[in-house]
Amino acid sequence: MQNALRQSQKMEAVGQLTGGLAHDFNNLLAGISGALQLMQMRMQQGRYNEFERYIATALGASKRAAALTHRLLAFSRQQTLMPKPTNVNRLVTDMQELVQRTVGPAVRIEVVCVADAWPALVDASQLENALLNLCINARDAMPDGGAITVETANKWIDERVARQQNMAEGQYLALSVSDTGVGMAPDVVARAFEPFFTTKPIGQGTGLGLSMIYGFAQQSGGQVRIYSEVGQGTTVSIYLPRHYGAGATELEPDVAAPTALT
């Protein structure tokens, strides 16, 4: 749980860091295009002897830009997943208090766990992080307060649905976070998984939450889906592959729900 909070704070820091990196990157691009423009002018004037200097400038800036993108890539690769058979009902119940404290008293977290949830093969700390992020988004979508429902369900994705939803056929444990907030217009849904896409004011949104959740779900062999209607609310569901075989029996028994923290 503490890990989830640390991850969330880290993401805020990353948002600030990447904002700075984007600025540096833009400056380097400006340097490269400036050098190319000068070369174009000198070419028209037949002053080819000056090319060497501009080429050196452009090459130097490209090298620094490459170093910047390597730093970003190194960061994104830090997310090494450690999938293990996980009792998602228990994870959700254990997280409830922290999530409630994080979103504040204006919204109420309600947990609805399916009685015999399938164990999921997933990195539990990444899932905690995803849950916290989804609940923060749900809270932000309800400025006047309300209830957030966190729900688990066993989902059998058959061939037809698999084709429709562009995911592999099979059995999944679905973790859904629903709100009755402002909802998302179709163009926002279409872009929501893009890194750095945010509709929130500067300093409030990093635009990294859903993109990281998307990457995490994909890497876990699952999917993430957004169901939203403007003015009605939003549900984001993470589908995690069911775990079969050794390990599943060691999990704690499922917690019967629903429960609510007020």
Helices (H), the chain: 2-44, 51-77, 88-103, 124-140, 159-165, 186-191, 209-219
Q: Helix (H, G, I), strand (E, B), or coil: what is residue 145?
A: coil
Residue 179 or 254: the one with the smaller Cβ distance to ligand ADP is: 179
Residue 12 or 116: the one with the smaller Cβ distance to ligand ADP is: 12
Residue 28 or 92: the one with the smaller Cβ distance to ligand ADP is: 92
- Of 65, 157, 184, 238, the residue at the interface with ligand ADP (CB under 6 A) is 184
Return the amino acid letter for 202.
I
The C-alpha atoms of residue 233 and residue 146 are separated, in whole angstroms, by 11
- Which positions from 195 to 234 touch ligand ADP by CB under 6 A, shown as an x/- string? --xxxx----xxxxxxx----------------------x
Q: How many CA atoms lie within 13 A of 164 on its CB side?
A: 6
Please give the span between the terminal C-alpha atoms of the chain, in angstroms, as a whole number: 20
- Is 192 near ligand ADP (CB under 6 A)? yes
Q: How far is the CB of 30 from ligand ADP (least distance, A)?
A: 27
Residue 10 or 42: the one with the smaller Cβ distance to ligand ADP is: 10
Please name the residues in contact with 97: beta carbons below 8 A apart, sequence gap of 6 or more.
Answer: 261
Of all residues in this chain, which one has the CB nearest to ligand ADP in the complex? Answer: 209
What does the binding site for ligand ADP look like in residue numbers (CB under 6 A)?
137-138, 141, 179, 181-182, 184, 188, 192, 197-200, 205-211, 234
